[in-house]
Amino acid sequence: MSAEKTPSGDLLAHQDLGPEPVETTRASTTYLEDIRRTTCLPSPSPIQPHRPSGLLECPTVSISSLAWFEPSDPAFEVKESIGVGGMGAVYAASQIFMNREVAIKRSHEGEGKGPSFHSVIDEGRRFGQLDHPNIPPVHLVGRDSSGHAVLVMKRIAGTDLRDMLHDPHNPRWGDVEEDRQTWALGVLVQVCRAIEHAHSRSVLHRDIKSDNIMVGDFGQIFLIDWGISINLDDPKQCTTERFCGTPCFAAPEMAIVGAKLDARTDQYLLGGLLFEILTRQVPRTGSSIQSVLDTVRSGAEPSLPPTVPAGLRPILLQAMAPEADDRYPSVTALRVAIQRYLSDHVIIDQIASAKETLETMKSVLEEKKTDAVSAYDFMTQAHESLGLLRAAQRAQVLPSLVVHLLTENLRIQAEYAILTRQFGIARILIAKLVEQVGPDQDWIKQIIDGLISQETQHAQQSLDLQVVSNNVMMEKMFDLHRQVTAEVDPDED
């Protein structure tokens, strides 16, 4: 059975900022659900936890200032409550004249009676200006006969991505024909495109997460819940005055009062979504909302399990960099990096593996491990790394990075050959380096100087050893001569 969710129906819990633990009215009995819930601090209105369908009285909705072809009252048939948020209640309904299913969000208060009226109107205006295949449309924004703000939206039949990621037996997986991770990354690419469009209209989402991504009955992908979106052109809205978002996915600047928000804030949230796709976990956890927000503010790097593909690790970590300046310059750049991985992910993973192998080789060199086992392992790793990089070079994948890593491979090998006094091999490797980057690089000159110094030192040590060896041999010859002479003339004094 398909589930239904409104594009703007996620629930808002409200907390107070401050060092003291936050007291919360929870719709869930587990802390994990709390930190996954969209949360704004402090509350501009009393907390209204989610209530199941059927517990609310369904109002008659009549939109003002419209003339219908066939005047009828009501214009919408409201069927059931979908949920209640901090600013409004959401209902499943049918638009009678258009004969279509819709979702209606209705403000808690009428105009002039509280903040929810203008909140719903502003949400509708921001949300309604967006026009993208991955963003469900707003049909209407208005005021009902009771003076409450009303936002009429497309109602989506389907499953949210969170349910799919955390339930390998979800029936929706039966419609996926490709590798599940590859499919999920393709969904992320579509969400990136939706956010790129939103940013082009100066809209910042602020609540990107798997809960807010709907997979339709026919494979459509929709990014929903624009309830806490803000205008990127409004400096006041883009300055954090209170936390508003989902704690376990939040960017550091969302939890620091006075911090500035921009398009890179949404990029961080997309990185958090990538984290969940790859690990089936949320980026941040804690025993309470406050403890999670403390971790968010610290900017600690999320812990990545070894199962995360090597080619995606740098993409994820850059998208989730604590400092916005260290992230990708735009969501477009993040999307391109993911798409490049999808098109060449086997080779990209091999390049990443080769890079990790080079780090291991570098450690062996720096620790001057020259025993037989270390030397054999080093040689094996060098050849494996070189083979992977040569294959990537032939495929012309990330050519600049591959050339850099090939050079690094030869450099490390040359220095290790010098360390182990394999001077002939070192000369061959240095010649290849000179052929590849030229003789004028300072680091190549240093390697050559190191080779000459080691060869001279080794030659002197060999000469000294030869002199010692010759002296020992002469002493033995003299001893032998005396013994022979004594045997021939035993009576001689």
Q: Looking at the structure, tell me whether residues 426 and 408 fall in a common domain.
A: yes
What does the pLDDT read at residue 282?
94
439 or 209, higher pLDDT: 209
Q: What percent of the chain has pLDDT over 90?
A: 52
Residue 51 pLDDT grade (very low, low, confident, very high; cuts 50, 70, 90): very low
Residue 33 pLDDT grade (very low, low, confident, very high; cuts 50, 70, 90): confident
What does the pLDDT read at residue 489?
65
Least confidently predicted of 2-11, 33-42, 134-143, 284-293:
2-11
Over residues 119-131, mean pLDDT? 89
What does the pLDDT read at residue 31?
61
Positive or negative, the Cα torsion across 63, 67, 73, 77? negative
What single letter denotes the amino acid at residue 381? Q
What does the pLDDT read at residue 14?
32
Provide the H-helix boundaries in 245-371.
Answer: 263-279, 289-298, 313-319, 331-366
Over residues 278-307, mean pLDDT? 92
What does the pLDDT read at residue 468?
66
Q: Looking at the structure, tell me whether residues 275 and 356 fall in a common domain.
A: no
d(CA 39, CA 418): 60
Q: CATH number, domain at 181?
A: 1.10.510.10
Residue 1 pLDDT grade (very low, low, confident, very high; cuts 50, 70, 90): very low
Measure CA 72 to chain center: 51
Residue 253 pLDDT grade (very low, low, confident, very high; cuts 50, 70, 90): very high
d(CA 188, CA 269): 11
Residue 45 has pLDDT above 70, yes or no: no
Answer yes or no: is 26 within a domain.
yes
Q: Looking at the structure, tell me whether residues 272 and 402 fall in a common domain.
A: no
Residue 331 pLDDT grade (very low, low, confident, very high; cuts 50, 70, 90): very high
What does the pLDDT read at residue 60?
66
> For the segment 191-203, what is each residue's pLDDT rounded down to a tens digit?
999 999 999 999 9
What does the pLDDT read at residue 16?
34
Least confidently predicted of 213-222, 277-286, 334-343, 478-487:
478-487
What single letter denotes the amino acid at residue 300? A
CB atoms within 10 A of CB 386: 18
- Give the closest residue to 40 by CA, choosing from 7, 9, 6, 17: 17
In angstroms, the Cα distances linking 104 to 100, 109, 133, 227, 422 are 12, 15, 21, 13, 77
Answer yes or no: is 68 within a domain.
yes
> Of 309, 329, 349, which residue is a domain's last?
329
Q: Looking at the structure, tell me whether residues 270 and 350 fall in a common domain.
A: no
Q: Looking at the structure, tell me whether residues 337 and 316 fall in a common domain.
A: no
Least confidently predicted of 27-31, 252-256, 330-334, 381-385:
27-31
Q: How many domains does the chain have?
A: 2
What does the pLDDT read at residue 372?
92
Residue 10 pLDDT grade (very low, low, confident, very high; cuts 50, 70, 90): very low
Q: Looking at the structure, tell me whether residues 153 and 126 fall in a common domain.
A: yes
- Give the closest residue to 158 by CA, choosing from 137, 140, 175: 175
Residue 54 has pLDDT above 60, yes or no: no
> Of 329, 363, 396, which residue is a domain's last?
329
Beta bridge partners of 153: 103, 138
Residue 68 pLDDT grade (very low, low, confident, very high; cuts 50, 70, 90): low
Answer yes or no: is 484 within a domain.
no
Q: Looking at the structure, tell me whether residues 96 and 182 fall in a common domain.
A: yes
The rounded mean pLDDT for the chain is 84
Tokens of 46: 């009393």
67 or 239, higher pLDDT: 239
> Of 294, 329, 364, which residue is a domain's last?
329
d(CA 78, CA 92): 6
Answer yes or no: is 485 within a domain.
no
Planar angle of CA 186, 187, 188, nearest 5 degrees: 90
Q: Looking at the structure, tell me whether residues 196 and 98 fall in a common domain.
A: yes
What does the pLDDT read at residue 64?
58
- Domain span at 270: 3-329
In angstroms, the Cα distances linking 169 to 36, 51, 163, 174, 301 are 22, 27, 10, 9, 31
Q: Looking at the structure, tell me whether residues 321 and 340 fall in a common domain.
A: no
> For the segment 459-477, what is each residue's pLDDT rounded down to a tens digit?
676 665 676 676 667 677 7
- Give the closest residue to 396 by CA, choosing from 319, 433, 343, 329: 343
Answer yes or no: is 488 within a domain.
no
Beta bridge partners of 157: 4
- Give the closest residue to 186 by CA, choosing from 257, 263, 134: 134
Residue 407 has pLDDT above 90, yes or no: yes
In angstroms, the Cα distances linking 211 to 10, 139, 161, 172, 414 are 9, 23, 6, 15, 52
Answer yes or no: is 310 within a domain.
yes
Tokens of 188: 């992320």
Answer yes or no: is 203 within a domain.
yes
Answer yes or no: is 480 within a domain.
no
Helix/strand/coil for 4: strand
What does the pLDDT read at residue 371?
93
Helix/strand/coil for 143: strand
Contact residues for 17 (Cβ-Cβ < 8 A; gap 6+): 41, 42, 242, 243, 257
Q: Looking at the structure, tell me whether residues 256 and 348 fall in a common domain.
A: no
What single letter denotes the amino acid at residue 89? A
Residue 227 has pLDDT above 50, yes or no: yes
Q: Looking at the structure, tell me whether residues 303 and 343 fall in a common domain.
A: no
Half-sphere CA count of 363, side-chain side, radius 13 A: 9
Beta bridge partners of 140: 152
Tokens of 330: 């735009």
Q: Looking at the structure, tell me whether residues 127 and 165 fall in a common domain.
A: yes
Residue ranges of E strands in 111-167: 138-143, 148-154, 156-160
What does the pLDDT read at residue 477?
72
What does the pLDDT read at residue 6?
45
